[in-house]
Amino acid sequence: MEHYFELSLNYRGEERILKGRLATFAYSYKFYIVVDGKELVFERDDEHNFRVVSTEEHYENGVDAELLTRIIEALERRAA
């Protein structure tokens, strides 16, 4: 099942609104967030912290680590 949403965050002094979707599976879920036209996948690790699932595309496009941190913080607030 999927749910679509907008994720609001502050990045380098600018308010950004990112499109996202939540995909639920049997006992887990993943967030798919669109950043600069590319969809990144976020999930919880074994310690229940969010992480971005690394893909080749992620490294090729050089997504800023600070932006990834801001996305994770926004997901944490949303999931709380």
Q: Provide CB contacts within 8 A for 13, sequence distance 6+.
A: none
Q: pLDDT at position 78, please?
A: 81
Which residue ranges in the chain fall short of pLDDT 50? Answer: none
Q: pLDDT at position 28, please?
A: 86
Q: Which secondary structure element, helix H or strand E, spans residue 60, and what is its range? A: helix 56-60
**How many independent structural domains does the chain possess?**
1
User: Domain residues for 9?
Assistant: 2-79
Phi, psi of 39 (to 5 degrees): -90, 120
